[in-house]
Each structure stands twice: as C-alpha cells, then as structure tokens.
Structure 1
C-alpha cells in the first residue's frame, strides 16, 4: 500500500507524530498550535490529521506557566528544576475533530446548535420560559435540569441552593400600557431588566461555586433606537421609569433592551474572574410570540410579518448558542445576532453607562429589599 503523504511531507511512524521541522506549542488558555520552523508559520490544525486540540485541566503539581522576553509561553518544573516550551498538559489534550468550526445563520434552529451537545449533568435556569422563545428553549433541554422562573416582582424572585451552570435571562414584555409594579417601578423596566438584575444578585454565589458557568441575556436590536444617559454619562431613572404622561411603550422596551446589554457587559466584567461569563443577544425580528399581546395594533403587525420572520426554534438558536457553544467557553462581554458576534450600539459599549446602570439597579433593589425564599 502506498504511504499517505501530506502536502509533500514525509510520512512518519504515527498519524499524530509531527513531520520534520514542526513543533507543538500552546497558548495561555490551553489551545494547541503548530509551528513550522522551515516556513516560519503557525496554524491551529495538526499538519497531518487536521485536528485541533486543547489542553485539559490545570498544570501538574509543581509546574508554572511563564512568558519569555519574546512573549512566548514556557513552563517551569520547580520540582525537577527545568524549563520547557512543551505544555505538560498536552498528554491530556481534547481533540476537536472538525477542522472548520460550525457555521450558523438566521435559519439555524436551536436543535441544530444542540446537536452532539451533552447537557445531562447541567442545571439550567430560564426566566420567562412559559411561552414564546423561552418555551422553545425549555422544551429543547430535556437532558438538563431546567427551572422556570418568573420575574414580575422582587418578591417573586427566588434563589437556588444547588449548582447552576447556565442562567438564561429571557423574560420580557413589550407594548405594555403604563403600569407600576408592586415595587413602584414601571412594569417593562422591572420585568425586562431589574428582575434579572435581582435574580443574578441572589444567585451570584451559586454561579461562582458552579464555575465554569454562563449567563445569557436576551436583548434586542431595538436597543439601537434610544439612549439612557445624561450629559455626564449617568443613567437617568426618569427615563427608565417615567411618569404616565411621558410614557411610550415601544420606547420603554427599547430602553429596557439597552439595559440588557449594559448589564451583561458589566456582569461579565465583575464575574469573569470567578469563572462566570455573560453574553447578550438578539433573537430575531418581530417573531410571533405573546410578547405583543397587550396592544391589538402590534398584534396585527406581528401577524402580517409572521410569514417572513423566524420560527420559535430559529429564534431560540442564538440563545442556545451563547449557552452551550464550546468555542464560547470562558469568553463573554459580547453581543450576538444569528449566532454571530456583532457590535451593539456605541452607548451599549460604554463602560461608564454600564457601571452607572449597575449602581442605579443596586440602589433600587436595596430600597425595596424583601426576604427571599430559598429552594
């Protein structure tokens, strides 16, 4: 049998053995890459098998990762008093059999994203999963341990005394008539943002102890059509919870969705050092869910648009992608649309506005704090 050659290189005894002139190295976060010293180039795929690999677990006892004066990572074995550029964890690498990452778009369904994804040992919390996109998310995670939470008032938010690996902040309302919650705040703002903020505040210790964990915040492209800050860059409460005479339901929704992204970014900044990441997303335009049920005109518009918009399965795809995609492990502070990263509005990227919203939300919670129920 003729020996298999790869790009004109000489064959070696083992499929995984590197051809002459190649060296295996790893990045700081454990991804393995290959250096070709003859051609002075690097690549992620093994030059013979086309596989990608990532180092698993922590460094062995006595080893330390360091960086030389050229910025290249090397490893010190303090027990045996030696150094090497070879990652000692590479004896326990995880192979990625696909040379190219999966590609998704607006037609991708949640089930396609979940293909070959094992959630059997995961605990997932989804808010607003009683209808619409949230119901679709809940129905496609039967292998996980799901919990459905409503966030209409602070008194209804609960904390969990068990591990939590994925938290999906999905609950939302739109085109609501002006109304105040029992906490004295405008309904859209409290359901879409403050309830989720309070929920995360209650669960932050659980999330840290369950790390690696992910928080996924469902926002909307409508966040681009509003602003929240004054001339000093501070978020104004009167814009989020206005008096009735200054209220417009769609503007309230847009502002709440902008809050979602600011909250997601600040949450990631605060929690990522503890192994908890957060991303925000847009599920799709004018999908026919119960979110528009409070206004007959909006229901009519959504009905006309229904043949041209995503299905519930397609609408849930980006949420599920942010929750389970292996390539997003340890990565956050981003905004996704159609399972693809994109930039949100300039104000949504403003760290000063994000910090201001966080401070305001904390104050509103403290002023209305009530005892919580622990399951």
Structure 2
C-alpha cells in the first residue's frame, strides 16, 4: 500500500523517502524511482528514535507519515527532539487491544498511557476503519472524532481483472479453488480455515490455496497431514503478484480472529471473487457493507465457515456485479484527497 501511494505522490511532484529500520524485504525491488530508501541501521523499534532524529535533521521532510504503534510514538517524539518543523501523521492498521491482548497488564498500561500522553501531539491521527478508530479512542481516552477514518486504498487500478493471466500451475486444473491470502500467523487463524475445509463434502472437488508465509507454517503443515489433506491444501508461500491466484479463485476466504481493515477482501472484490469472511473486529463488516457484498460468519466457528464456503462454491456469481458493488462502496473512495491536505513538499514514510 505504501509503495502504491508513493507512486501517486511522485506523480504529483512530491519527493518520497522510505525510512526503514533495515533496508531489506521483498518489496524493495518495486519501490518506484526516484524515491529513496533509507536505513536507520537498527534491528528493533526501541532503538529507532535517535537515528530517526538524525534523519529528520539531515533531510528535513515536510511531512513524516508513520504507521503502527510504537513507531507512531517514535515519529511524534522524533519531531520534538529533532527541533524540526514538519507535520506528523500517524496511522494505525489494527485493533491494538486485540493485537496485544496476551502481552500482560504492564504492557497494556504502557500502551494506553503512551497513546494518551503522546498521540495528541500528532497533527493527524488516522485509523483504517471505524472499528479501529473506536478501539484507539477507548485505549487512549482521545475522542473518536479526533481520529480520521481513511480506508486503505484499493489494491489495483479500476480496470483490475481485465487482463487475464494463466492459471497458476500448482492449482489442480479442474478443481474449485478456495483462496486465502495473508501472513501465516495466529491472527489469521488459518488452522480454523483448514479445519473448516476438512468438513466440506469431497464431491465438491475443492482445493484450498493459502497464499502467504510466516511462523505458523510448520503447525499448519502438520494439521494438513493430520487431516489427510495433502494435495487438497496448498501453501505456495509469498507472492509479489497474487493476481493470477485471485483470477483462478472461485471463492475468497478470510478466517481471521481480528483485523484492522482487511485489504485482501478488497483485492478479491476487485477481481469479482465472492467473499466469505469471519465477522471479526473490525474491517470485514465495513468492507462488505454488513454482508451485502459477501458472507459473514462468527469468529472461530468451523462449522459455520464450512457451510458458508460450501454455499458460496455452489452459487454461480456475477463477477461484474461484485466489481460494481465494490466501486459504489464508501470505503473505495480515494484517500488521497484527505492525505494531500497534510502533505506539502517531501514525504517520509
């Protein structure tokens, strides 16, 4: 998303720097020119403050855009400590009360207190959904009206899906494809998805493809073996260009226990793929307009998820209708008009 926005900013005449803890990652190869990628040379968030101050004093950007606590705190403090005059925009992309639910009482106190004391000094506070804004407000004590809700931008151009690509070779040629895209971590609850898939009738000739990489891979592979689903469940890993998988999919499934927004639902709808999602806090219900553009099922309910996936596979959806529905939903409006009011000159993200 940041890479896509950088392309837009560059096209509008802004200079863009990507400021990273470390200069590494799969997306480096697609950073648009002439954007600069700058490494702070640190491994952990807590060591980023002083290198960030040095960057701000040297490069003097007009706007500093920081995403996700605690980097948001570092951005606000670095502006103060570096004595630079710039706008600071902070954005949060998840329901933090859920993300850090298991971190203990002391961490929760630190989370709430740091937001209460420091977030008011940001020029703009962004939440990617109304649910995230409500969560941030409850954590920080800052009124919800002081958070700007800006939904994440659509992943592709409006003509997404018009250019057909060949079916990925790892997908069975005649199978109905259930697709899930996301990092293999506990939040995404792919174990629930595999469990639900194992309860679906064999005569549907379905194949489950989980696109992504993460620390849960060994556990998920073990579950696939325990359920005797070898060949029925594929985990091809991370893909920089997942469009071919979306176009091959019959149904897209999100099984998360919580989300901030759910970009992958947007990507699926852009391709006209029917969506089944857990009704988790806090993005899917907003994107799907309370179920108008996709099925919502209770979090953690394998039977309900299996039933919804089966029903979706047995329908004959009108993909063009789904694309048009996506285009009329409020969350698809460009966030640029709101963001641009904050940006003058160079942008550091």
Both proteins in one fold, TM over 0.5: no
TM-score, normalization: structure 2? 0.31
Q: Which has the larger radius of gyration?
A: 1
* Structure (1 or 2) with the greater helix fraction: 2
Structure possessing the higher relative contact order (Cα contacts under 8 Å, 6 or more residues apart): 2
TM-score, normalization: structure 1? 0.30
